[in-house]
Structures are given as C-alpha cells and as structure tokens.
Amino acid sequence: MSSLVATEKGHLVPSQCEELSRWRKAKKRLPLPDALTSGATVYIYARKHPDTDAPLVIDIGGDQFTISVEADVPAWRWYKIYISQPQLAKSGGQIVLWADAPGMTAWTLGMEGGYADPSSYLSVDGGETWANERMGLFHNQRGEYLIRLRIHDDTPPPLLPDFVTEKFDATQLEELLNWIPDETKEVEDPWLRARSASSWISQLWPYNCNGPHYAPWDPFSIQVWGQEEHSYHGQNASAMCVHYAVTMAMVCQAIEVPVRCVATTGRLHGGDGHYLTEIFSSEWDKWCLLDANLDAAYMEDGVPLSVGEMWQSKDRLWDLLDAGPGFAVQMDGIEPWIKNIGMTGQCYRLWAVWPRTDFLSRIDLTPAMHGDGAYRETEWVWCAHDVPDQELDMFRYHATPKQLNQYGIPIR
C-alpha cells in the first residue's frame, strides 16, 4: 500500500513544456500528509536533448541528485529518485530542478498547461525570483510540472473511477449515424456489426504517427485530418492507433455495441505501445479485443480473446488471427510494426483502460498528444503481467486482471 501525490493529469503538449538550464530553474511544491512515517519515490517526466552530456540536477530539501543518461534517448520518459523519510520531511514537498547547461539545449521538463494558480514555478534568473505565470518555452502558460510522489505508507489504494459512456446529443447522434455505412448499421449480430465497423474504419485514412500536429479525439475531425489531401495547416496530422480506436468507440456506441478503449505496451518507456478497443459481448459474457487499426480479432475455439488474454497467447497470434479486409491495407503501411511488435505480442504485457468513452460531449477531458512518449495520464486504470515493483507507481489506479475484466461492463 502507498499513496500517490500528483497535482496534474499528464495532459501535456510536448512543444509547450519547460526548458531547463543553469538560468531556467523549475520548482514544484507537492502537498504532504501531516504525519510522514516513510520515504517516497519521486517521479519526473522529462526529455533529454540529443547530443548533450549535461545532467539533470534535482534539489530536494538541500540534498542534490543528478540524472545522467549516457545513451542518446531523446524521448519523453519517467525518471525516479528514492528519498528517505527525513529527506522528504526536510523538503516540505518542494523539489527544484535545473540542467547544468548555459542554454536551453539539455533537458525538457513535462508541463501540463491550463491551471489558474499552479503549485509549479519558473525562475529565469537562476533561482533568485520565481513566478507561476509566463511559464513554458514560449512564456505563455500557467501550468503544473509532471513531478509526482509515491509515498510508501499504509494508505489503501483508491477506488477505481466510475466508467463513463457517451450521452449523445440528438443532433450529434444523427450526424454520426448518417456517417456510418448502412451495411454496417443493418448487421443484426452485435459482434458482426462491430466487425463491419472495424473494417470500414481501418481504411478511412492512412496510419501516420509522425505528423507535426495531432488529430483531436473527435471522429468527424480525425477522418479529415488523417487524409493527406485534407491536412491541417498544409501538413499531415498524426492519426494513428489511438485515433482508429477513438473512432471505433464512438461508432460502436452509436450502433449500440458496448465498447471501451485500452492502451497496451510491453515496456513503459519502449516504443511498443498500442491502443485499441474491446467490445463487450453478452453472447460470450466477456470483453473481446477488436483492433480497428489492424482490423483484427484473435479467436480461440471460436471465442475472441480479450486484451488480458493476449500476453499468454503471444506465441500463437498468427494462428489465432481473424483478420478483416483492413488488415492487408494496414500491412502496406506499417508492416514492420505489425510483424515485429503487434503480432509478436510483446505490446500486451501491460494494459490499461481509459475510464471514459464520451469523446464527443466531453472532448475537453481527452488527453493531448497521447502516444508521443511514455504513458503519463493519471486517469488510466492499469493492469499487468510480471510487473516489477514500482514500475507503474507513477499512476493512480491499479487493478487486478479480474477487476479489469469486470470494469466498464454495461448494467443489464
């Protein structure tokens, strides 16, 4: 048991974070419980610039720590530092960071904008003065730095968040149903209706994870932004596995098929993540994986596997594959990922459910730029196979496989 202290949700935009140097220092104040009986692990979401040897320096209560990365890993990831109970008490929850470099050429600290009075502060004069406004690379934000604290005390885990589905506005539902092909809506069996939707969605736009802009979690926008001839600001947008799943979730709800979105990865800091949907089948009384990116399900004795069953079956995925027509289309674009990661099953070791599918009515609650670095959003409900201690401790919600298999099942 332990408790997470976090004052942000991890909804950052990578180009609007905080650059650090000897002059640009960042400070975070995290609230601590009145009685501290144990130490803690500090989690810092940061990115090392390529071709720099400058360390990231962290001051916690007057004790300094450094993070040096020998290899060039210019990707967003979590770094952690263990501190004792006396160190934590002495700090009062205050953490100061900077990079040992004269310019903004060494380290970037994650920051989520949109806070009226954040407990994060920037100094541009080496720590002489501090302000929680005019923050970020362009000095146009007020935000919270992605620094979290896992206190190793006896606090029981929090209850899982309620699972929230879409409550369609009548006009939005009509627009969505008018968009969905008649041949999909007319399929009587719910599983086959979802399979038809997957085959259609998987071919709406070409997969792209390298665009300079990120398509929002709105199906009407995604299918336009994802098209090369309808690019955003004259540049192609990233519209990838996340966006196929979000579109699938909205379409399934419109055609009355229970659905949830699931993120998976083999390593929290690896490039082997994926995002897909599960369909709840009353026929089989379980969540069933249906990947609208690959237009694929995986069948064992005529029953679809769930995401939680994929890891145990990872050596047999080609034999279990039930591919729709979109699979061949996606093979033309992302064959290396499919063969080396997707179909090896390595991306299914860790998995998490997003607790909402109301992406139209509450698009303001969707995360910015999900999938461009190590997972960071606090809303995820995580589950795992063979997880080392503390691997997922920067997240708030954790579930057993049994709990996650029951999570989000519609009330009958």
Segments in 16-137 forming alpha helices (H): 85-91
Alpha-carbon distance of 289 to 138, in angstroms, equals 42
What are the tokens at 11? 């909804």
Question: Amino acid identity, residue 316?
Answer: R
The residues with which 278 forms a beta bridge, in sequence order, are 260, 289
Q: From the CB of residue 188, how many other CB atoms can be counted at a distance below 10 Å?
A: 6
pLDDT digit string, tens, across residues 168-211: 999 999 999 999 999 999 999 999 999 999 999 999 999 988 87
Residue 212 confidence (pLDDT): 78
Question: What does DSSP say about strands 381-384 and 63-67: parallel, antiparallel, or unpaired?
Answer: unpaired
**What are the φ and ψ backbone dihedral angles of 315, each rounded to 5 degrees?**
-85, -5
What are the tokens at 181? 């092909």
pLDDT digit string, tens, across residues 95-112: 999 999 999 999 999 999
Alpha-carbon distance of 375 to 110, in angstroms, equals 12
Mean pLDDT rounded to a whole number for the chain: 93
pLDDT in tens, the chain (412 residues): 799 999 999 999 998 999 999 999 999 999 999 989 999 999 999 999 988 899 999 999 999 999 987 666 668 999 999 999 999 999 999 999 999 999 999 999 999 999 999 999 999 999 999 999 999 999 999 999 999 999 999 999 999 999 999 999 999 999 999 999 999 999 999 999 999 999 999 999 999 888 778 889 999 999 888 886 666 667 778 899 999 999 999 999 999 999 999 999 998 887 889 999 999 999 999 999 999 999 999 999 999 999 999 999 999 999 999 999 999 999 999 999 999 999 999 999 999 999 999 999 999 999 988 888 899 999 999 998 777 667 899 999 999 999 999 999 997 6
Which sign, positive or negative, has the C-alpha torsion 368, 371, 376, 381? positive
How many alpha carbons lie under 13 Å from residue 234 in its C-beta half-sphere?
0
Which residues fall within 8 angstroms of residue 34, CB to CB, at 6 or more apart? none
Domains of the chain: 3-151 (2.60.120), 170-406 (no CATH)
Please answer whether residues 231 and 238 qualify as being in contact, where contact means their C-beta atoms are separated by less than 8 angstroms: no
Question: What does DSSP say about strands 18-20 and 107-109: parallel, antiparallel, or unpaired?
Answer: antiparallel
Cα 75 from chain centroid (whole Å): 15
- The SS3 assignment for 187 reads coil
What are the tokens at 158? 């929090």
**Based on the number of CB atoms within 10 Å of its own CB, is 76 exposed (0-12), middle (13-18) or buried (19 or more)?**
buried
What are the tokens at 207? 């997969």
Please answer whether residues 331 and 343 qualify as being in contact, where contact means their C-beta atoms are separated by less than 8 angstroms: no
Alpha-carbon distance of 224 to 221, in angstroms, equals 5
Please answer whether residues 175 and 159 qualify as being in contact, where contact means their C-beta atoms are separated by less than 8 angstroms: no
Length of the chain: 412
Reported as type and span, the H/E element at residue 244 is helix 241-254
Residue 390 confidence (pLDDT): 75
- The SS3 assignment for 102 reads coil
Annotate 2-35 with DSSP letters as a single string.
Answer: -EEE-S------GGGSEEE-SS-EEEEE----SS
Question: Amino acid identity, residue 179?
Answer: W
Question: What does DSSP say about strands 40-48 and 107-109: parallel, antiparallel, or unpaired?
Answer: antiparallel
Question: Amino acid identity, residue 114?
Answer: G
Please answer whether residues 327 and 203 qualify as being in contact, where contact means their C-beta atoms are separated by less than 8 angstroms: no
Q: What angle do CA 386, 390, 396 make, to 5 degrees?
A: 105
Residue 71 confidence (pLDDT): 66
